[in-house]
């Protein structure tokens, strides 16, 4: 009995030692991956791929997720009590099943005693969602307590989207080139197929989607042997603009993918669906052969690495040790 007790104590101490080595007792720093979100369980692979790369590159940080979309968060919250869904999706991480907004996620981390926090958006470009994140972080950083020791954060900083953001130190043109480099395999596949490469971005009705046009131009210069076209569900250029450009270029074969981190409803229905108003149907009615690949950008490890690199930048800029 004594031997069993000693064996139990040694095992317990070993587990505690491993936990301490892995997490430094209590994690003192955290990274919040702020995404628009998705309600499709199979599309979560894009976000977990980003998480894995970020965690590998930043092992001394706790990495967690937040969704900016109120609608998508509500869907996941309703699923918490859906026994049928839970039974069919046992592999779903609690990070997603109990996902919160960026504000609530940051507040939870602060309540746990974590006062150095990096919020890294997984957005493609600096649009409406990113602007809201900037406002949230600015508001939290404006908190000034009477005593410095009661300040809620030591450092709370926000990274930039994949295609960059206004900055005098990190030029967005360099971010766009990095994004073009990360899409190399897509372009190679289109070239091998003898097809034009078409991307569907989400876009935005409030903010300019000019970053898409600049990415399209960069892709064409980087891969001059393949025709590349980018359109958006919202904003410019719309599918009508893409269709006109394809027709003008005499394109007969198209390889199409979503320019979105996760491939959800837009990719499955608006892009690749069989409905009359889908991009696929529209191009086919123009006499083109269309092949669709419904894979989110987050599953591209090169694209996921962009976010990790942006975290390195903001850590350096903020002087986090």
Q: Residue 257 maps to which CATH number?
A: 3.40.50.1400
| Whether residue 85 sits in one domain with residue 141 | yes
| Whether residue 101 sits in one domain with residue 58 | yes
Among 103, 114, 118, CA closest to 31: 118
251 part of a folded domain: yes
| Whether residue 306 sits in one domain with residue 290 | no
7 part of a folded domain: no
Range of the domain at 289: 184-298
pTM of the predicted model as reported, rounded to 2 decimal places: 0.89
| Whether residue 258 sits in one domain with residue 240 | yes
| Whether residue 197 sits in one domain with residue 81 | no
Cβ atoms of residues 255 and 216 within 8 Å: no
pLDDT at 251: 97
| Whether residue 292 sits in one domain with residue 305 | no
Report the distance separating Cα 216 and Cα 90, nearest Å: 40
194 part of a folded domain: yes
Report the distance separating Cα 257 and Cα 261, nearest Å: 11
144 part of a folded domain: yes
Q: What is the mean pLDDT of each run of 10 residues along the chain (321 residues)?
A: 45 39 64 95 95 98 97 96 94 94 97 97 96 97 94 97 95 98 98 97 92 97 98 94 96 97 85 90 96 96 98 96 82
Report the distance separating Cα 258 and Cα 25, nearest Å: 41
Q: What is the 3 state secondary structure string of the chain?
A: CHHHHHHHHHHHHHHHHHHHHHHCCCCCEEEEEEECCCCCHHHHHHHHHHHHHHHHHCCCCEEEEEECCHHHHHHHHHHCCCHHHHHHCCCCCHHHHCCCCHHHHHHHHHHCCCCEEEEEECCCCCCHHHHHHHHHHHHHHCCCCCCHHHCCCCEEEECCCCCCCCCCCCCHHHHHHHHHHHCHHHHHHHHHHCCEEEEEEEECCCCCCHHHHHHHHHHHHHCCCCCEEEEEEECCCCHHHHHHHHHHHCCCEEEEEEECCCCCHHHHHHHCCCCCCCHHHHHHHCCCEEEECCCCHHHCHHHHHHHHHHHHHHHHHHCCC
Q: Is the bond into 237 cis (omega within 30 degrees of 0)? A: yes
Beta-carbon contacts of residue 218 (< 8 Å; ≥ 6 apart): 176, 177, 179, 180
| Whether residue 25 sits in one domain with residue 161 | yes
| Residue 234 annotated as part of some ligand binding site | yes
Provide the edge-to-edge strand list for the sheet that holds 289-292.
Answer: 228-234, 196-203, 253-259, 289-292
- Pairing of the two strands 116-121 and 62-67: unpaired
179 part of a folded domain: no
Q: How far apart, in Å, are the Cα atoms of 183 and each of 156, 179, 286, 292, 311?
A: 31, 7, 27, 16, 20
pLDDT at 25: 56
| Whether residue 279 sits in one domain with residue 134 | no
If one counts the domains in the chain, the total is 2
- The residues carrying an active-site annotation are 202
174 part of a folded domain: no
| Whether residue 239 sits in one domain with residue 126 | no
175 part of a folded domain: no
| Whether residue 128 sits in one domain with residue 158 | yes
240 part of a folded domain: yes
| Whether residue 158 sits in one domain with residue 135 | yes
Among 303, 50, 267, 35, CA closest to 186: 303
| Whether residue 226 sits in one domain with residue 106 | no
pLDDT at 274: 86
pLDDT at 273: 87
């Amino acid at each position: 009995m004594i031997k069993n007790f000693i064996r139990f104590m040694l095992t317990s101490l070993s587990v505690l030692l491993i936990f301490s080595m892995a997490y430094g007792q209590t994690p003192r720093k955290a990274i919040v991956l702020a995404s628009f979100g998705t309600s499709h369980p199979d599309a979560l692979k894009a976000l977990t791929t980003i998480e894995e790369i970020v965690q590998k590159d930043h092992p001394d940080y706790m990495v967690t997720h937040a969704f900016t979309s109120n609608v998508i968060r509500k869907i996941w919250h309703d699923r918490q009590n859906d026994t049928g869904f839970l039974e069919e999706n046992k592999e779903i991480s609690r990070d997603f099943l109990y996902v919160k907004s960026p504000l609530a996620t940051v507040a939870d981390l602060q309540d746990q005693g974590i006062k150095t926090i990096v919020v890294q958006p997984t957005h493609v470009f600096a649009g409406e969602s990113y602007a809201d994140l900037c406002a949230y972080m600015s508001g939290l950083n404006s908190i000034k307590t009477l005593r410095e020791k009661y300040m809620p954060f030591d450092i709370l900083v926000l990274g930039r989207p994949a295609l960059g953001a206004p900055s005098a130190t990190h030029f967005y043109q360099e971010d766009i080139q990095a994004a073009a480099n990360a899409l190399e395999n897509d372009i190679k596949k289109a070239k091998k197929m003898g097809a034009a490469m078409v991307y569907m971005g989400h876009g935005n009705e409030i903010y300019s989607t000019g970053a898409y046009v600049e990415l399209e131009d960069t892709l064409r210069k980087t891969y001059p042997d393949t025709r590349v076209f980018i359109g958006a569900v919202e904003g410019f250029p719309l599918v009508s603009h893409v269709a006109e450009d394809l027709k003008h270029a005499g394109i007969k074969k198209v390889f199409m993918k979503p320019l979105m981190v996760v491939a959800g409803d837009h990719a499955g229905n608006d892009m690749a669906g069989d409905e009359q108003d889908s991009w696929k149907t529209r191009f086919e009615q123009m006499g083109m052969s269309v092949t669709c690949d419904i894979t989110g950008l987050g599953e591209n490890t090169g694209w996921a690495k962009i976010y990790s690199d942006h975290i390195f930048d903001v850590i350096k800029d903020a002087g986090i040790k």
